[in-house]
Chains A and B, each alone.
Chain A
Amino acid sequence: MLLYILKRIVYVTPVALGVSVICFLLVHLAPGDPLTSVMPIDATAEQQAEMRAAYGFDRPLIVQYFLWLWKVLHADLGNSIATGRPVLTEVSRAVVNSLILAAVATLIGFTFGTLFGFVAGYFRNSPLDKIASAISVFGVSVPHYWLGMVLVIIFSVQLNWLPSTGAGPGGSSNWRPDADHLRYIILPAITMSVIPTGIIARTLRALVADILSQEFVQALRAKGLGEWGVFKHVVTNAAPTALAVMGLQLGYLLGGSILIETVFAWPGTGFLLNAAIFQRDLPLLQGTILVLAMFFVGLNLIVDVLQTALDPRIQRG
Chain B
Amino acid sequence: MAAIADAAIVVPAKASKGYWASVGSRLIKDKVAMVALTIILLIVLAAILAPYIAPADPFRGSMIRRLRPIGTPGYPLGADELGRDMLTRLIYGGRLSIFMGVVPVLAAFVVGSGIGIFAGYVGGWVNTLLMRIIDVFFAFPSVLLAIALSGALGAGILNSIVSLTIVFIPQIARVAESVTTQIRTRDYVEAARVSGAGAFTIVRVHVLGNVLGPIFVYSTGLISVSMILASGLSFLGLGVKPPEPEWGLMLNTLRTAIYTQPLVAALPGLMIFMTSISFNLFSDGLRSAMEVKQ
| B224 in contact with A140 (CB, 8 Å) | yes
Provide the residues of chain A in CB contact with B228, threshold 8 Å. Answer: 141, 143-144
In the complex, the chain B residue whose C-beta lies closest to that of A277 is B151
A100 within 8 A of B: no
| A14 in contact with B141 (CB, 8 Å) | no
| A146 in contact with B136 (CB, 8 Å) | no
B153 within 8 A of A: yes
| B235 in contact with A145 (CB, 8 Å) | yes
Q: List residues of B (138-154) whose CB comes within 8 Å of A's CBs.
A: 139-144, 147-149, 151-154
Q: List residues of B (272-293) whose CB comes within 8 Å of A's CBs.
A: 272-273, 276-277, 280-281, 284
Min CB distance B222 to A, Å, is: 12
Main SS of chain B's interface residues? helix
Provide the residues of chain B in CB contact with A296, threshold 8 Å. Answer: 139-141
- Band of interface residues on A: 35 or more
Provide the residues of chain B in CB contact with A145, threshold 8 Å. Answer: 232, 235, 251, 269
Provide the residues of chain B in CB contact with A254, threshold 8 Å. Answer: 141
B265 within 8 A of A: yes
In the complex, the chain A residue whose C-beta lies closest to that of B144 is A255
Provide the residues of chain B in CB contact with A14, threshold 8 Å. Answer: 132
Provide the residues of chain A in CB contact with B281, threshold 8 Å. Answer: 137
Task: Give A61 to B277 CA distance when docked, in angstroms.
Answer: 44
| B269 in contact with A143 (CB, 8 Å) | yes
Main SS of chain A's interface residues? helix
Q: If A149-B255, A153-B258 touch, does A18 touch B236 (CB 8 Å cutoff)?
A: no
Provide the residues of chain B in CB contact with A273, threshold 8 Å. Answer: 147, 151
Contact with B along A289-307 (1 / 0, CB 8 A): 1001100110010000000
B231 within 8 A of A: yes
- Partner pick for A142 among B141, B236, B273, CB 8 A cutoff: B273
29 A-B Cβ contacts within 8 A? A15-B136, A18-B133, A18-B139, A22-B140, A29-B149, A137-B284, A141-B277, A143-B231, A145-B235, A145-B269, A149-B251, A149-B255, A150-B266, A152-B258, A153-B262, A157-B258, A157-B259, A157-B262, A252-B143, A255-B144, A258-B144, A259-B235, A262-B236, A273-B147, A282-B152, A285-B151, A289-B148, A292-B144, A296-B139
